[in-house]
């Protein structure tokens, strides 16, 4: 900084004998300039009134310097962490569920009863379900104790829902991919596409029924659909829903669901539930 | 109602009706509120919580118009702006037991879309104002009922709201805390609109600048606490002058 | 005391519990903060109280300061919140209603001299020509960065008045500089 407040101006400011416009420019500069702040401190030390006030204020401060606690900086990344991790009481429930179920599917190479003699890993059936269960658990208002207050905030509507859905996908999909690679279960593309379509359909349906119910409906539909498609065609290695040919259909469904969510986004602005039934005590 | 109506009203409710199936919870309520602390009194089931929830933009009205801070709530585009300037403590207030007080308040600071750099200071300030500074890093499940409610109040005021809605905020507070809480309310009411639903008539007498009494979904009395006292001069039911006024207001409404 | 550490460094150290660093930070920054607060509220005792509150908040929040070279603005923003709080508390006490406006409108003394202006001379003249009321409103909203509501609380005038005065002050300045 090349310009600094003159000593004359500093002492005029310290004593209060200064025009407003000058005081303003001094203050603007002091806010930005450490050197002049220190110079003013030296100036104030020569003023009895100011130096007394400053000296006498310190003990009151020093006596109250308790330990500072776990304070955190405010940043966009901190915001993301808080909003994503702050699900219901069981913060990491969905995460653990994903890991445990997929580990089971991978480790045991478990097969579903859908295949009628063919080996269809449980993974293909379960993996697409996980994201919707995760979303339901982390957002479904019936499960979130603080939903009543959340619903009154600007960030509590569709933004939070999408954020949490994305975070659930971001965790479960890689886990699913790894498990798939371990079990040697064909191409992951079909069930990835199915996953995406299911979660988006859940969100679209949630604009009408609420998240919890939407997840239940879509989940049930998925299992039923799988069972029916497997029963219908015994010659196929995988049920039609997980067939590579189904991928374009899933993508179409996804696009349609996105359109529904976009059109009905205002439905996420209100809670569909009465005030929370659980009484605190 | 008071002199400062020139800026526009903080809360403007006209002919508000809220129905739950066949039951009418609010039946044509009119309410205009400005800065100050406004008490909302009424018997169980009168519709206080229903009114609070509509004002908190959580529940929708069946008919009538509601505007907050000069924004019509039926306009979805304004909703977000209004919500940034709202504070709400529900009657049945859910929380995350594993969160610390600080995390809990911070969570709502983010949900209220505050500027990142302002969040830590606002959180600290809010916790300090409710007197929980020394418990800031305790998990909520370790707090007493009254402290929990104060954490709820901290959450509501973290964004320095223009409209603050508190539904039964003094439930569970000890007498000393209640005194401090009233002081806090008066402080906030200097330049915000505070609406407090309560059963504790003495809270209203001490902390409020205005009172509204609701009964069976209707606003049956509006005025200052002194007006309410005056309304009870001919009654003997109730332990304090203001309680008598409250009883008289409800009785008069039922007779009509 | 000529420290070798910058204010930023002192704050970071204070943020991890270093009381010595915090005391040094105090000794460097108490003066300008106190003077500025006194100019805003015209009440030496209140200014000292607000300063204490401010430094306590700074101690607790020091670890969250993430700027570089912006600690002055950061400190002042904490101080203004506390000052407004103090005004609210004062206004909330029924017995002292109305007292708040005293000493608030800063009046420049007779010994005004153009000493330090880093603004253009014309702007300085134009600012000094504004009425004290208009200047106070400009000071609160522009220099101190307060919202309309906060300025209204601090100056004890309705929000609408703050808005009209800011508008008028801007207009006058524009005319003067045209
Ligand atoms: N979600 C809901 N579904 C159906 N009825 C409801 C619902 N919420 C409230 N009601 C009914 O609306 C009426 C008003 O209820 P409200 O909770 O607003 O009363 P209140 O004044 O807050 O009572 P209290 O003093 O007990 O808290 C009651 O008859 C209640 O049963
Ligand atoms: Mg209620
Ligand atoms: Zn300088």
Mark which of C54, C86, C101 sits at the end of a domain.
C101
C-beta neighbour count of B234 within 10 angstroms:
7
pLDDT of residue C177: 77
Nearest to residue C135, comparing CAs of C95, C159, C107, C154?
C107
Q: Are B54 and A238 in contact (CB under 8 A)?
A: no
Percent with pLDDT over 70 in chain B? 96
Confidence tier at A63 by pLDDT (50, 70, 90): very high
Which ligand lies nearest the alpha carbon of A36?
3
Give the pLDDT confidence of C2-20 residue by residue, as tens digits: 557 999 999 999 999 999 9
Mean pLDDT of B29-47: 94
User: C31: domain CATH number?
Assistant: 1.10.1740.10
Together in a domain, C5 and C78: yes
Nearest Cβ partner for A37 among C32, C38, C108: C32
pLDDT tier for residue C80 given thresholds of 50, 70 and 90:
very high
Residue B4 to residue C92, Cβ atoms within 8 A: no
| Structure-block tokens of residue B59 | 């529940």
The SS3 of residue A38 is helix
Question: Which residues pair with residue B33 across a beta bridge?
Answer: B11
As a whole number of angstroms, the distance between CA C106 and CA C100 comes to 13
Q: Residue C95 has what pLDDT? A: 62
* Average pLDDT of chain A to the nearest whole number: 78
Which residue has a Cα nearest atom 17 of ligand 1?
B49
What CA–CA distance (Å, rounded) separates B167 from B60? 17
Total Cβ atoms within 10 A of residue B252: 15
| Residues A149, B86: C-beta atoms closer than 8 Å | no
CA angle A136, A137, A139 (to 5 degrees): 65
Closest CA to A57 of C18, C51, C35: C51
> What is the average pLDDT across C148-168?
90
Please indicate, yes or no, whether residues C43 and C115 belong to a single structural domain of this protein.
no
Hey, how many other C-beta atoms are within 10 angstroms of the C-beta on A31? Answer: 22
Residues 6 or more apart whose Cβ sits within 8 Å of residue B216: B27, B46, B47, B253, B254
What token pair was written down for A179?
Answer: 């498990």
Contact: C59, A68; criterion CB under 8 Å: yes
Q: Please classify residue A66 by burial: count the beta carbons closer than 10 Å to its beta carbon, then call 0-12 exposed, 13-18 middle and 19+ buried.
A: exposed
DSSP SS3 for C109 = coil
Domains and CATH numbers, chain B: 9-85+171-256 (3.40.50.300), 91-160 (no CATH)
State the pLDDT confidence band at A276, using cuts at 50, 70 and 90. Answer: very low
pLDDT band at residue A186 using 50, 70 and 90 as cut-offs:
low
Q: Which residue has the higher pLDDT, B171 or B189?
A: B189
Integer Cα distance of B225 and B237 in angstroms: 17
* B-chain residues near A79 (CB < 8 A): 110, 116, 119
Judge whether residue B226 has pLDDT over 60: yes
The pLDDT confidence band at residue A275, using thresholds 50, 70 and 90, is very low
Task: Give the pLDDT score at A93.
Answer: 57
| Least confidently predicted of A69-73, B235-239, C137-141 | B235-239
Q: Which residues of A touch C2 (CB under 8 A)?
A: 38
Co-location of C81 and C121 in the same domain: no
Q: Is the pLDDT of residue A144 over 50?
A: yes
Neighbours of chain A (3+ CB pairs under 8 A): B, C
What is the C24 CA–ligand 1 centroid distance (Å)?
Answer: 58
Q: Give the residue from C46, C75, C101 where a domain finishes.
A: C101
Indicate if the pLDDT at residue B153 is higher than 90: yes
Provide the pLDDT confidence category of residue A274 given band limits of 50, 70 and 90.
Answer: very low
> Do B113 and A279 count as a contact with CB atoms less than 8 A apart?
no
Q: Best of B73, B81, B92, B114 to disrupt the A interface by mutation (most A CBs within 10 Å)?
A: B92
Tokens of B198: 């309560």
Same domain, C2 and C86: yes
Task: Give the number of the atom of ligand 1 that is nearest the alpha carbon of residue B59.
Answer: 1
Lowest mean pLDDT among A84-93, B141-150, B197-206: A84-93
Place of tokens 């702050």: A86
State pLDDT tens for residues C109-148: 433 444 445 566 677 777 878 888 888 898 898 888 888 9
User: Are C152 and C119 found together in one domain?
Assistant: yes
Residues C120 and C97 in one domain: no
Higher pLDDT, A157 or C82: C82
Instruction: Compare B70 and A105 and report the one with higher pLDDT.
Output: B70
Reported confidence tier of residue B5, pLDDT bands at 50, 70, 90: very low
Sequence-separated (6 or more) residues with CB below 8 Å from residue A193: A246, A247, A250, A251, A254
Query: What confidence score (pLDDT) does residue B35 get?
Result: 92
Ligand 1 atom closest to residue B91's alpha carbon, by position in its atom list: 27
Q: What is the pLDDT of residue B95?
A: 80
In C99-158, the residues whose Cβ lies within 8 Å of chain B are 149-150, 152-153, 158
Q: Rounded to an integer, what distance in angstroms lies between the CA atom of residue B122 and that of residue B105?
A: 9
Give the DSSP per-residue string, B143-187.
Answer: S-HHHHHHHHHHHHHTT--SEEEEESTTTT--HHHHHHHHHHHHH
Q: What is the dihedral of CA A87, A93, A97, A98, to 10 degrees?
A: 30
pLDDT for the residue B38 = 96
Q: Which segment of A142-146, B25-29, B148-152 scores lowest on mean pLDDT?
A: A142-146
* Lowest mean pLDDT, pick from A173-187, B232-246, C82-96: A173-187
- Is residue B170 within 8 A of residue B198, CB to CB? The reply is yes
Q: What is the pLDDT of residue B11?
A: 95
User: pTM for this structure?
Assistant: 0.86
C66 with C94, same domain: the answer is yes
Say whether both C90 and C118 belong to one domain. no
Nearest alpha carbon, ligand 1 atom 22: B49
User: Two tokens at B191?
Assistant: 């330049």
Residues C69 and C116 in one domain: no
Local structure of residue B5 (DSSP, 8 states): G
Q: How far apart are CA C12 and CA C17, in angstroms?
A: 9
Domain count, chain C: 2
Looking at the fold, whether C114 and C158 belong to one and the same domain comes out as yes
Which residue, C40, C66, C101, sits at the end of a domain? C101
The alpha-carbon gap from C98 to the nearest alpha carbon of chain A, in Å, equals 25
Span from the CA of A34 to the centroid of ligand 3 (angstroms): 7
The answer to whether the CB atoms of A9 and C30 lie below 8 A apart is no
For residue C98, pLDDT over 50 is answered with: no
Question: Could you give the count of Cα atoms lying within 13 Å of B211 in the half-sphere of its Cβ?
Answer: 30
Cα–Cα–Cα angle for A261, A85, B166, nearest 5°?
Answer: 80
In a shared domain, residues C119 and C161:
yes
Q: Which of A24-33, A59-68, A270-279, B24-33 has the lowest mean pLDDT?
A: A270-279
Q: Output the ligand 1 site: residues, CB below 6 A.
A: A 274; B 20, 23, 25, 42, 44-50, 91
- For chain B, the average pLDDT equals 89
Decide if pLDDT at B20 tops 60. yes
CATH (domain of C155): 1.10.10.10
- Are B25 and B184 in contact by the 8 Å Cβ rule? The answer is no
Rounded to the nearest angstrom, the distance between the alpha carbon of B25 and the centre of ligand 1 is 6
Lowest mean pLDDT segment, chosen from A6-10, A124-128, C102-106, C123-127: C102-106
Q: Which of A87-101, A117-131, C112-126 has the highest mean pLDDT?
A: A117-131
Chain C residues touching residue B133 (CB < 8 angstroms): 60
SS3 for A168? Answer: helix
Same domain, C2 and C17: yes
Domain membership of residue C51 as a residue range: 1-101
H or E element that contains B248: helix B241-255
DSSP A274: P
């Amino acid at each position: 900084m090349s310009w600094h407040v003159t000593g004359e101006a500093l002492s005029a400011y310290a004593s209060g004998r200064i025009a407003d416009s000058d005081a303003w420019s001094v203050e603007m500069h002091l806010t930005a300039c450490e050197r002049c702040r220190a110079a003013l401190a030296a100036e104030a030390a020569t003023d009895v009134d100011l130096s007394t006030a400053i000296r006498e204020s310190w003990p009151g401060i020093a006596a109250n310097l308790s330990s500072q606690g776990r304070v955190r900086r405010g940043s966009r990344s901190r915001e993301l962490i808080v909003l994503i991790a702050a699900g219901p009481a069981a913060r990491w429930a969905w995460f653990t569920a994903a890991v445990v179920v997929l580990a089971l599917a991978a480790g045991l190479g478990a097969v579903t009863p859908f295949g009628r003699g063919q080996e269809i890993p449980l993974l293909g059936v379960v993996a697409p379900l996980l994201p919707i269960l995760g979303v339901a658990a982390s957002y479904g208002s019936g499960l979130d104790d603080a939903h009543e207050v959340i619903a009154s905030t600007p960030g509590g509507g569709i933004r939070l829902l999408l954020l949490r859905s994305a975070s659930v996908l971001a965790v479960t999909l890689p886990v699913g991919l790894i498990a798939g690679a371990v079990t040697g279960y064909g191409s992951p593309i079909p069930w990835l596409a199915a996953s995406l379509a299911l979660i988006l359909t859940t969100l679209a349906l949630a604009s009408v029924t609420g998240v919890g119910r939407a997840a239940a409906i879509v989940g049930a539909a998925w299992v039923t659909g799988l069972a029916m498609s497997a029963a219908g065609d015994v010659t196929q290695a995988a049920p039609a829903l997980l067939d590579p040919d189904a991928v374009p259909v899933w993508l179409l469904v996804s696009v349609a669901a996105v359109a529904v969510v976009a059109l009905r986004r205002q439905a996420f602005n209100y809670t569909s539930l009465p005030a929370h039934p659980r009484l605190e005590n | 109602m008071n002199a400062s109506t020139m800026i526009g009203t903080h809360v403007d409710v006209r002919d508000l009706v809220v129905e739950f199936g066949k039951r009418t919870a609010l039946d044509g309520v009119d309410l205009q509120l400005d800065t100050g602390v406004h008490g909302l009194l009424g018997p169980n089931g009168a519709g206080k919580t229903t009114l609070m929830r509509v004002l908190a933009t959580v529940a929708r009205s069946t008919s009538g118009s509601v505007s907050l801070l000069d924004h019509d709530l039926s306009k979805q585009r304004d909703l977000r702006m209004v919500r940034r300037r709202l504070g709400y403590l529900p009657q049945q207030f859910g929380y995350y037991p594993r969160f610390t007080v600080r995390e809990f308040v911070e969570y709502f600071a983010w949900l209220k879309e505050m500027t990142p750099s302002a969040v830590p200071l606002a959180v600290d300030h809010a916790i300090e104002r409710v007197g929980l500074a020394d418990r800031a890093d305790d998990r909520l499940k370790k707090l007493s009922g009254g402290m929990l409610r104060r954490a709820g109040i901290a959450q509501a005021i973290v964004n320095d709201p223009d409209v603050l809605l508190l539904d039964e905020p003094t439930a569970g507070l000890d007498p000393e805390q209640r005194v401090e809480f009233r002081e806090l309310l008066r402080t906030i009411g200097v330049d915000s609109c505070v609406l407090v639903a309560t059963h504790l008539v003495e809270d209203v007498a001490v902390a409020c600048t205005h009172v509204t009494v609701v009964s069976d979904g209707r606003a049956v009395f509006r005025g200052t606490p002194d007006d309410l006292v005056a309304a009870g001069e001919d009654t003997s039911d109730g332990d304090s002058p203001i309680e008598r006024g409250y009883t008289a207001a409800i009785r008069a409404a039922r007779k009509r | 005391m000529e420290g070798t550490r910058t204010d930023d460094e002192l704050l970071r150290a204070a943020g991890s519990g270093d009381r010595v660093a915090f005391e040094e930070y105090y000794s460097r920054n108490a003066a300008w903060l106190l003077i500025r607060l006194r100019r805003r509220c015209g009440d030496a005792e209140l200014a000292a109280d607000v300063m204490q509150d401010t430094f306590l908040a700074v101690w607790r929040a020091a670890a969250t300061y993430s700027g570089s070279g912006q600690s002055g603005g950061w400190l002042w923003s904490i101080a203004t919140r506390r000052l407004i709080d103090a005004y609210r508390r004062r206004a909330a006490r029924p017995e002292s209603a109305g007292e708040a406006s005293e000493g608030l409108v800063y009046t420049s003394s007779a010994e005004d001299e153009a000493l330090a202006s880093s603004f253009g001379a014309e702007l300085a003249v134009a600012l000094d020509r504004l009425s004290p009321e208009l200047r106070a409103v400009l000071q609160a909203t522009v220099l101190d960065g307060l919202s309309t509501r906060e300025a209204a609380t601090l100056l004890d005038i309705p929000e609408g008045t703050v808005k009209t005065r800011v508008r008028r002050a801007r207009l006058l300045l524009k005319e003067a500089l045209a």
